[in-house]
Structure 1
Amino acid sequence: MNSPHRFFLLPAIGLAVVLTAHPAQAQSRVGEAAMVKNEVLRVAAATTPINVGDALLRDETVRTGLESAARLVMADSTNLSLGPNASLKLDRTVFDDEHHYRDVAVRLTSGAFRFVTGHSEKAAYKITTPLATIGVRGTVLDILSQRGRSVVVLQDGAASVCTTSQQCVQLTQPGDTAIITSTGGKVSISKTNTPPWTFAATCSQAAGLCTVTQFADATPVGDDPAGMLCGR
């Protein structure tokens, strides 16, 4: 018997295949990989390599391997540089429009990072480590997240750094540094203007790692990604 519905069956199946075969495309694209050195991975339902120009999606983790590095450019032109053995999660992103966030949260789990704010309102940014919450105001920050220790160094702008128990210090001058430590379950925070560490040494180990580019320039053109890495 010929069913009047049979002509709709194959298109419906095809649509179902398209929707299930590429679930990542349905997720929010929040940025791109602008620079990649050696092993850089996205950790989601499966672990896959990240290459220059690949999209970054909300709620996924990015991880670098030994002697590896990456620079990510978010949709609002925030630049996030990762050193070796670093891991971060793009925890939450709420857009005001295509190139501005109303709310963006980045969780720096482990490793060394440089964070350069983009075009969103500064109150929109929330950066966390396992020991600290960082609020930014027009800021370039170097952040080191280790087991039992976080270091936040202000390079430009201003920032507020608080422990999970709401002990806070204000970073207002270049070189101001918050050091958060956890010993025996007790978390403490101190401030100094003599940083014990900065991201500068990591910058020199990978070309383009600490270059700052706009999101509109993040995707390589043709076969010449080098221009993008130089901030062209």
Structure 2
Amino acid sequence: MATPRKLLLGLLVAAALGTPALAAEKVGEAVSITVQVTGQAGPIAKGGDIHRDERIRTNAVGVGAFLFEDGTKLAVGPNSSVVIDKYVYAGGSTAKKLTLGATKGALRWISGKSDHSAYKITTPSGTLGVRGTAFDVYVGRNGVTAVTLLNGSAQFCNARGCQTLKRRCEFIIARPGGAVTKPRGITRSTGLGVPVGQAFPFLAGGVRLPRGFLSGSSCAALSQPGLNNGFGQPADPLDFNFPDLGPRDNRNTQGTPPTPTSPATNPDTPPAAGDPATPPAAGDPTTPPAAGNPTTPPAAGNPTTPPAAGNPNTPPAGGNTNPPTAPGVAG
């Protein structure tokens, strides 16, 4: 019969040999490992098992992609730490409860076949409820947490309230003890104090993932040039409240007529009224008659202009000394 002393000795020998007295419960496996990813028993290799209550850590360039028994997918980015807090089977290949604790770094979550109520991710700033969803999570210094939605919907709650992400590339930030920001479109200016490629390495394209992990997913604002100065510094915040531009508001400088200049400086501009070079208005008595224009009155004293026919008041042409002849009277 084994004595308590012998049982204790057996447990110590098993621990020294690295053989656990009770096998940990497998909940999934690694499908892709880059550089160094470690678990409770040391480095995790591709195809290696992951277990309930296991903490997964990565180094500065380590990336791990994991597949849970219910089809849920988890990618862990560089400098990250995630704990598989709970995994309770519901029967078959589904889970009754799957809870992760994200304590540092970046991760991507893609829901599996279990009911959405089974999933939960805890962070230092609150809890993320999953609703048939794919999203990226970042946990930074002092517990600040950010979430970007890829599809489906997700709700982030803490003691100050809840916010629901419903649209692709919507983004929220929460801080321990603080309120959750309202969802807005993510840009390179996240306000997290770190480059967007560090907070969301999968979205920014700095980290490659295997097929099935939405490896090609990104957000348009993260790929537009000019939104970051290239040195990891946030660009100026963007304003999305642009009014719609109509045809009259959508102007450019090409083809715009030049601004009129003053007559003194522009030789092509007609001179102002009263300028000696300006033709006077029609009917002005000082205006010389146009050539060949029979309706223009003759200039005063012009001896070559015949008087109007039958007009007794018309003075005779210059040089004529005879008095005016009365109509109908012979000389």
TM-score (norm 1): 0.75
* Match 2:91 to one of 91, 94, 97: 97
Distance 2:91 2:19 in 1: 25
Offset at residue 206 of structure 1 (A) = 3.0
Q: Is the 8 A contact 2:202 2:208 kept in 1?
A: no
Offset at residue 35 of structure 1 (A) = 0.5
The match for 2:57 is 63
Larger-Rg structure = 2
Distance 2:65 2:124 in 1: 22
Between Structure 1 and Structure 2, the one with more strand by share is 1
The match for 1:160 is 155
* Match 1:31 to one of 28, 31, 38: 28
Moved over 6 A (4+): 16-20
Q: Is the 8 A contact 1:41 1:64 kept in 2?
A: yes
Distance 2:100 2:74 in 1: 10
- With over 3 angstroms needed to count, the CA separation of the structure-2 counterparts of 1:107 and 1:207, relative to structure 1, is closer
Q: Which moved more, 1:86-95 or 1:144-153?
A: 144-153
Offset at residue 67 of structure 1 (A) = 1.1
- Which ranges in structure 2 are unaligned for 5 or more consecutive residues? 2-6, 191-195, 215-331
Q: Is the 8 A contact 1:69 1:209 kept in 2?
A: no
Offset at residue 204 of structure 1 (A) = 4.5
* Match 1:192 to one of 172, 183, 202: 183
Offset at residue 130 of structure 1 (A) = 1.1
Q: Is the 8 A contact 2:71 2:113 kept in 1?
A: yes
Q: Is the 8 A contact 1:103 1:124 kept in 2?
A: yes
Q: Secondary structure at the match of 1:189?
A: coil
Letter paired with 2:64: A
Matches within 5 A, 1:121-140: 121-140=115-134
**Greater RCO (CA < 8 Å, at least 6 residues apart):** 1
Q: Number of residue pairs matched?
A: 194
TM-score (norm 2): 0.54
Q: Secondary structure at the match of 1:200?
A: helix
Distance 1:209 1:203 in 2: 14
Q: Structure 1 residue 150 and structure 2 residue 152: aligned?
A: no
Q: Is the 8 A contact 1:162 1:169 kept in 2?
A: yes
Deviations 1:92-115, CA, capped at 9 Å, x for gaps: 111012411001100011001110
- With over 3 angstroms needed to count, the CA separation of the structure-2 counterparts of 1:81 and 1:75, relative to structure 1, is same
The match for 1:223 is none
Distance 2:73 2:204 in 1: 15
- With over 3 angstroms needed to count, the CA separation of the structure-2 counterparts of 1:155 and 1:63, relative to structure 1, is same
Q: Structure 1 residue 117 and structure 2 residue 111: aligned?
A: yes
Offset at residue 25 of structure 1 (A) = 6.3
CA RMSD of aligned residues (A): 2.6
Between Structure 1 and Structure 2, the one with more helix by share is 1
